[in-house]
Structure 1
Amino acid sequence: MKETIAFNLIRYRKGLHISQESLAQQTGVTRQTINNYEKAKTLPDSKTLSVLAKSLGVTLDDILRPIDQLPQTNNFCFRTHCKFTQKPQFISYVENLLNTYTALEVAVGLPPYAPETTPCNVLKDNESRIQQIAKSFRLRLGIGDAPIPNLFEAIEELGLKVLRLPVEQKDFFGLSACSNSQGAFVLINTHNISIERQLFTLAHEIGHLIFHRDEYQNRLMISESREEEKAREKVANYFASHLLVSQTAFDLACQNMTNLLELKAHFRVSYATIIKRLDELGIDSYGEMIKKIRANYKRLYNKSLTKEIELEPKLAENNFPVNQRYQSLIWKALKAEKISESKAAELLNITIEALRLARMQQEVYAIA
């Protein structure tokens, strides 16, 4: 046990790039004590272990888990483009989320889902094909050419595992994973990110799942920044745009709407998505439109329009509740006695008392 804790303390401390001295200050012990723990000379008591886990941004299980018993996500292959994923804390976090979600599906007997795959690594000369695949996927969602009311709900109804969670990391929007036997998974960052950008991230990751399945690897790691990767990003972005906004509907809307913000509100997407589509149609230059929009924003609000800011009218967060399918699986697993009340409360991030009250209310208002 001493060796296991020592290994994990070193692994997670170095993942945060902090010194023994810094960890000691956060934990309320001496640097020599941390050094003894990491050299497996002494064993922390249970209270100190909990404080260490919190300081390192992991769970107590992560600290106590032997290296040969790390979460089993060998069936899943990952794809992401962020250096943050090289941190062991984040890898453990994602693996635990994925394992929990998969276990809940198995517990309630739901089949896994992943979109059909077809390779496409460059956008040039493949635009029509990608548009057709986006159109087919919209039909699969039962949407046709209409604006999508809530892509999160529509995708979850297909059975794709989607989690929207706050991850405090600059330039991290999301990642996806896929298993031949356990389906697909998409993690979307909600921390200071607009609903419009979250929707685009979901559509973008679905694009990768469809077109770049052979690029997924058996562990979380960053893809090198190279021309081939940039080309694949363009494919995923193009698919995302046409999944969110039907070309047929956009052509028609452009005949009746000339205002950028009117188009944005109608299709329920970001202003960037709309100006990109206007550029594709040759109506106006993306560069010129962005320049004008930024100048006007600066004049109106006396601050720069950064990529994190979405123009009004913005989609309201309360109209897009998070993780509905995931929460539904937890309740179903609890009802089927596949998980305990304490585990359900932990997964829902509520107290057992709150869980029991909610459970009672569900029973009272249940339709016989």
Structure 2
Amino acid sequence: MKETIGGNLTRYRKSLHLSQEQLAEIVGITRQSINNYEKAKTLPDSKTLSALARALNITIDDLLRTESEGLPNFRFRAHASFGNNPQFAAQVLRMLETYNNLEQAVGLPSYAPESTPCHQVEGNEKRIAEIASRLRRCLGLGEAPIFNLFETVEEIGLKVLRHPFPIKDFFGLSACSAEQGAFVLVNSHNITIERQLFTLAHEIGHLICHRGEYQDTLVEEGTKEEEKAREKVANHFAGYLLLPQAEFERMYQLTTNIIRLKQHFRVSYQVILTRLAQMEVIDYAKERAKICAVYKKQHGSSLKNSMELPPAVKPEDFPENERYQQLIWQALKLGKISEMKAAELLDLTVEKLRVHRQEAEVYAIS
């Protein structure tokens, strides 16, 4: 136990670029005490352990968890800072554990999409389109546009959470294990709904095509070439999931207006341009440059890569984490979690939770 706490304390402290003196000052103890904890000479008492966790933006469980109890079979969109960001890894693990515990509490089985390995786009374009088409059939979509992909995949049991992470260029990650099923985390921090939808589709592509390459750490392994190939496959899959080819060709015959096409399919204009470029109808770079020039002339500012060409989809049409919240209420109703725990998970006070609970009972159909 001393070694576990000492190692974790050192790792989390260094990730925040805190010296032993600085951490000691925040917690209200001596630098020598911090040194003794990190060298596994002494154990902090419960009060000090709680103060250390708060100072390091983690939980007591994170300090007590061994590295072998890490993230289950994880793959994620590579980001250089993850290897030096154990707080992020700990937060993701807590999210996974909480979601899994809620599913188990209400008796729901785990779910993961069928694995179909595919490691490169070249020579596999039709195969990737068929993999996406197969998932669409599983979702009962046919060739129709997807009104809300979050809701659609949650209905078949995929665990999805949207959460604001202020991490540059991080859009999402996915996890899967035989016992816990599949999980997708989507970053919602200053990211358009269209981009969030693409991230979800992209990560589902990884879950289906690259399941065998998932690993136990958030630090990406493999060569850059291998990762680029995986990303390209996931991007192709996402495009075909969001834009079924037959329906896209039908709509493109009716209108070549980018705005109308993106509104019909509820995707970003860049997804539309990418598909047209794949069909060799346009030159992506030239078409985007033209759109950006028109946008700047109309709005007086540049259309950045992180922005969406208006009109964007309405955020109110995509409420966050509905399945997750429903599981919390179900677990509470079944007596599997306390009011205090439910309030914590829903980010409510206990008083507000009780008000919501009373309103739900009043309007419930008996």
TM-score of the superposition, structure 1-length normalised?
A: 0.91
Unmatched 5+ stretches in structure 1:
none
Aligned to 1:19: 19
Output one character per residue of 1:267-287: Cα deviation in whole Å (capped at 9) or x when no partner.
100111011011112221101
Quick one: which of 189, 192, 216 aligns to 1:191? Answer: 189
Task: Give the whole-Å Cα distance in 2 for the aligned partners of 1:225 and 1:83.
Answer: 14
Q: What's the secondary structure of 1:177's corresponding residue?
A: strand
Q: Is the 8 A contact 1:190 1:198 kept in 2?
A: yes
CA gap 1:48/1:149 in 2 versus in 1, 3 angstroms: same
Alignment partner, residue 62 of structure 1: 62
CA contact (8 A) 2:77 2:170 kept: no
Q: Are the counterparts in 2 of residues 71 and 92 from structure 1 also a CA contact under 8 Å?
A: no
Q: How many residues align?
A: 365
Q: Which residue of 2 aligns with 1:349?
A: 347
Tell me how far apart the structure 1 counterparts of residues 20 and 220 of structure 2 sit (CA, whole Å). 27
Partner of 1:230: 228
CA distance in 2, matches of 1:245, 1:148: 9
Question: 1:296 maps to what in 2?
Answer: 294
The Cα of 1:73 is off from its aligned counterpart by 4.8
Query: Is 2:361 the counterpart of 1:366?
Result: no
SS of equivalent to 2:150:
helix
* Cα distance, 1:338–1:286 mapped onto 2, change above 3 Å: same
Q: Partner of 1:185: helix, strand, or coil?
A: strand
**SS where residue 314 of structure 1 aligns?**
coil
Q: CA deviation at 1:40?
A: 5.6
The Cα of 1:188 is off from its aligned counterpart by 0.6
Provide closer, same or farther for how the CA distance between residues 61 and 225 of structure 1 changes in structure 2, counting only shifts above 3 A.
same
- SS of the residue corresponding to residue 155 of structure 1 reads helix
- Which has the higher mean CA deviation after the structures are superposed, 258-267 or 294-303? 294-303
**1:97-116 alignment, distance < 5 Å:** 97-116=95-114
Q: Identity of paired residues, percent? A: 57
| Runs ≥4 residues deviating over 6 A | none
User: Counterparts of 2:103 and 2:40 in 1: how far apart (Å)?
Assistant: 39
Name the CA distance, whole Å, in 2 between partners of 1:8 and 1:158: 37
Q: Distance in 1 between matches of 2:138 and 2:246?
A: 17
Distance in 2 separating the partners of 1:240 and 1:249: 15
Aligned amino acid, residue 81 of structure 2: F
CA contact (8 A) 2:343 2:353 kept: yes
Q: Which residue is 1:334 aligned to?
A: 332
Whether 1:157 aligns to 2:155 is yes
Check the 8 A contact 1:264/1:270 in 2, yes or no.
Answer: yes
Deviations 1:261-302 (A, max 9, x none): 121111100111011011112221101112222233333344
1:170-197 Cα deviation digits (max 9, x unpaired): 0111111111232111111111111100
Matched to 1:209, the amino acid is L
Change (3 A) 1:163 1:247: same
Per the TM alignment, residue 207 of structure 1 is displaced from its structure 2 partner at its CA by: 0.5
- Equivalent position SS for 1:83: coil
8 Å Cα contact 1:24/1:30 also seen in 2: yes
How much does 1:53 deviate?
A: 2.4
Show the counterpart of 1:287: 285
Alpha-carbon offset, residue 56 of structure 1: 1.7
Q: Which deviates more, 303-312 or 145-154?
A: 303-312
The alignment status of 1:82 with 2:69, answered yes or no, reads: no
- Spell out, residue by residue over 1:71-126, the C-alpha distance to the aligned partner (whole angstroms, 9 max, x if none): 5654x443442233322111111111111111111111111111111111111121
8 Å Cα contact 1:79/1:215 also seen in 2: no
- 5+ unaligned residues in a row in structure 2: which ranges? none
